[in-house]
């Protein structure tokens, strides 16, 4: 009876070498304040100069989500005090953002839906405050201050936590495919705020709560689901939801109001007088358009056409740049069994990488090795079960696939003469069972297979063996 309404604000750090308005490095993890230049520190008298690559990256994103690109874009100051914000204002965009009016189609449970993208604007990141380093004091590291971000603001078009996560993942895969962000959520390169409200279907939007800085796909789903439950309880007991900013606590799996952040702030946006209007020409846009890499949707279509993959598998593979790259590298060495390769990667390799929380791009088993395993399976050299075992061992010991197969002597026996000899021996040994089988006790086929497997230490190709046994039993 309640409809959930969700809008997301996604902050994406852009993969530039230097900061948005200064030439200091954007590297992650340097010693504190060694990447904060006089400009990032807001020394008296310093001025910002805009990074061209950041603008181009924002345009790339805009083109990828069918958005409009402003021919004239303006930077504004958002004024508030915080120690991680050295100037006392953030240079952001307010009126005339670089990107506006875009949209993105998402697919969930076989249904597709379009999510509106209100705008995507450039802004600078803040530094970091560390509260547990010194007694009674907070420590400020401004290395991150000034790192370029695009903030992608969606329309309140999502109706469930799963839709929100699907949209978020798709944006993630787009920015990674475009190469404009490393998308690293742990290091904060890709962060999400969720605006959540409830309403009765058909009524106006309810009052929303903003959940800040949720840093994993899983937490987004949890945080939204928690928040939906919380608001529902309030509304159903006749209360009203507060318009407020809340933090998600993954340990307790709950959201709570932020304690001190700005009592009713007024950001006093105005055009930054240190920066002039940015002009974006048609020529610049068309050049960027030409250089755009393949995007997930186009890739999915190509995977279906080129590799004959099932729709759902193509969708999953293309939704992640790491995954699709892994698949395509392996596919080079797989002659035709692409669906088998896709199945193997999606179930086995992805399974292992999830289990070990390791990006598939960092998998110890290379795509070439996977290609070998899949080829052996399709050539019936090894069984699929054996392939899984080899993969597991290869993942753990980082030994190559051929070595493992050799050392374990697990190559399948597919030679028909050899298998026939073994099968004959077994049938001769068990005349009673042969007679029973012929009298209709079909189940005994399993017994014969089992006996041959026992003799061959499980290396018999089960499919070939079955055929041979059928033939022998019928023929005699």
Partner 1 sequence: MIYKSVTEILEAIKKKQISATEITKEYLKRIKASGDLNCFITLTEDSALNRAKEIDKDISKNNLKPLSGLPIAQKDIFCTKGIKTSCGSKMLDNFISPYDATVVDKLNEAGTIMLGKTNMDEFAMGSSNETSFYGAVKNPWDYEYVPGGSSGGSASAVAARISPCSTGTDTGGSIRQPASLCGICGLKPTYGRVSRFGMIAFASSLDQAGLFTTDALDAAVLLKEISGHDPKDSTSSTVEVPNYHDYCINSDKKNFTVGIPEEFVNDLNDDVKNSFYESVKILENIGCKIKKINLKHTGLGVSAYQVVAPAECSSNLSRFDGVRYGHRSKKSESLESLYRESRSEGFGKEVKRRILVGTYALSAGYYDAYYLKAQKVRNLIAQDFSQAFEKVDLILGPTTPDKAFKIGEKMNDPIAMYLSDVYTVSTNLAGLPAMSIPMGFKEGMPLGLQIIGNHFDEKDILKLSYLYQKETDWHEQVPGA
Partner 2 sequence: MDTIDSHHLGKIMDKNTIKKLTYLSKLSIPESDIDELSKNLDNILKLIGEIDAAPTDGMLPMAHPLDFTQPLRDDVCRKNINRDANQHDSSKTKDGYYTVPKILD
Contact between 398 and 432 under an 8 Å Cβ cutoff? The reply is no
Alpha-carbon Rg for the chain in angstroms: 29
By CB under 8 A, name the one of 68, 200, 218, 268 that touches partner 2. 268
| Residue ranges in contact with partner 1 by CB under 8 A | 38, 41-50, 77, 79, 81, 83, 86-89, 138, 140, 266, 268, 270, 273-276
Q: Of the two residues 97 and 127, which places its CB atom closer to partner 1 in the complex?
A: 127
Q: Which of residues 275-334 bind partner 2 (CB under 8 A)?
A: 275-279
What is the edge-to-edge ordering of all strands in the sheet holding 99-108?
Answer: 68-69, 99-108, 111-124, 148-154, 3-13, 190-199, 209-214, 244-249, 254-257
Q: Which does 258 bind (CB under 5 to 8 A by kind): partner 1, partner 2, none?
A: partner 2
Q: Which is nearer to partner 2, 82 or 217 (CB)?
A: 82
Among 142, 352, 460, 464, binds partner 2 (CB under 8 A): 142
Contacting residue, 108, 240, 258, 418, with partner 2 by CB under 8 A:
258
- CA-nearest of 171, 165, 184 to 223 is 165
Helices 161-178 and 311-319 cross at an angle (nearest 10°) of 60
- Spacing of C-alpha 49 from chain mean position: 33
Q: Which is nearer to partner 2, 261 or 429 (CB)?
A: 261
Pick one of 243, 265, 397, 407: the residue that binds partner 2 (CB under 8 A): 265
By the rule CB under 8 A, 346 interacts with partner 2: no
- Among the listed ranges 30-38, 299-307, 310-318, 398-406, the one in contact with partner 2 (CB under 8 A) is 30-38
DSSP 18: B
Distance CA 64, CA 241 (A): 36
Residue 196 interacts with, from partner 2, partner 1, none (CB under 5-8 Å by kind):
none
Task: Please select the residue that binds partner 2; options are 2, 9, 28, 50, rule is CB under 8 A.
Answer: 50
If binding is defined by CB under 8 A, does position 25 make contact with partner 2? Answer: yes
What are 10's two structure tokens? Answer: 């996604």
Q: Of 33, 39, 244, 248, nearest to 124 (Cα)? A: 39
Using CB under 8 A, which of 140, 150, 168, 316 touches partner 2?
A: 140
Instruction: State how far the Cα of 183 lies from the Cα of 189, in Å rounded to an integer.
Output: 5
φ and ψ at residue 211, rounded to 5 degrees: -100, 125
Selection from partner 1, partner 2, none that 139 binds (CB < 5 to 8 A by kind) is partner 2
- Distance of alpha carbon 311 from alpha carbon 292, whole angstroms: 24
Helix (H) or strand (E) holding 397: helix 384-397
Options 76-84, 114-122, 162-170, 326-334: segment touching partner 2 (CB under 8 A) = 76-84
Residues that bind partner 2 (CB under 8 A): 16-18, 23-26, 31-38, 41, 43, 49-55, 79, 81, 83, 129-131, 133-134, 136-142, 247, 258-261, 263, 265-266, 268, 271, 273, 275-279
């Amino acid at each position: 009876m309640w409809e959930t309404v969700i809008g997301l604000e996604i902050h994406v750090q852009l993969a530039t070498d230097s900061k948005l308005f200064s030439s200091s490095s954007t590297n992650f993890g340097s010693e504190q304040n060694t990447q904060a230049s006089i400009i990032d520190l807001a020394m008296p008298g310093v001025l910002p100069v805009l990074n061209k690559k950041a603008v181009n990256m924002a345009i790339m994103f805009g083109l990828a989500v069918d958005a409009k690109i402003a021919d004239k874009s303006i930077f504004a100051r958002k004024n508030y005090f915080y120690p991680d914000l050295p100037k006392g204002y953030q240079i952001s965009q307010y009126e005339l953002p670089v990107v506006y009016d875009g949209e993105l189609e998402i697919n969930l449970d076989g249904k597709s839906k379009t999510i509106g993208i209100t705008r995507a604007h450039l802004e600078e990141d803040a530094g970091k405050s560390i509260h547990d380093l010194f007694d009674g004091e907070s420590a400020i590291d401004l290395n991150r201050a000034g790192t370029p971000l695009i903030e992608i603001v969606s329309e309140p078009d999502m109706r469930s936590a799963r839709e929100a996560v699907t949209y978020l993942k798709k944006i993630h895969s787009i920015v990674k495919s475009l190469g404009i962000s490393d998308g690293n959520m742990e290091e904060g390169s890709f962060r999400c705020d969720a605006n959540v409200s409830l309403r009765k279907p058909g009524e106006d939007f309810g009052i929303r709560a903003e959940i800040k800085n949720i840093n994993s796909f899983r937490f987004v789903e949890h945080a939204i689901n928690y928040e939906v439950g919380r608001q529902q309880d309030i509304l159903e007991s006749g209360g009203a939801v507060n318009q407020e900013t809340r933090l998600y606590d993954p340990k307790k799996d709950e959201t709570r109001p932020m304690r001190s952040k700005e009592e009713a702030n007024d950001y006093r946006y105005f055009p930054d007088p240190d920066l002039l209007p940015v002009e974006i020409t048609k020529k610049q846009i068309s050049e960027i358009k030409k250089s755009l890499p393949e995007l997930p949707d186009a890739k999915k279509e190509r995977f279906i056409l080129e590799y004959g993959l099932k729709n759902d598998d193509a969708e999953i593979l293309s939704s992640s740049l790491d995954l699709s790259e892994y698949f395509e590298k392996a596919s080079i060495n797989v002659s035709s069994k692409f669906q088998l390769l896709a199945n193997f990667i999606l179930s086995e390799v992805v399974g292992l990488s999830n289990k070990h929380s390791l990006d598939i791009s960092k998998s110890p088993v290379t795509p070439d090795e996977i290609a070998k395993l899949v080829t052996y399976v399709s050539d019936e050299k090894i069984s699929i079960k054996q392939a899984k075992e080899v993969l597991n061992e290869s993942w753990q010991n980082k030994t190559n696939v051929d070595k493992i197969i050799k050392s374990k002597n697990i190559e399948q026996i597919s030679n028909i003469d050899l298998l026939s000899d073994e099968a004959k021996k077994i049938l001769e040994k068990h005349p009673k069972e042969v007679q029973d089988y012929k009298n209709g006790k079909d189940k005994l086929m399993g017994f014969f297979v089992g006996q041959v497997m026992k003799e061959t230490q499980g290396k018999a190709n089960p499919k070939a063996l079955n055929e041979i046994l059928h033939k022998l039993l019928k023929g005699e």
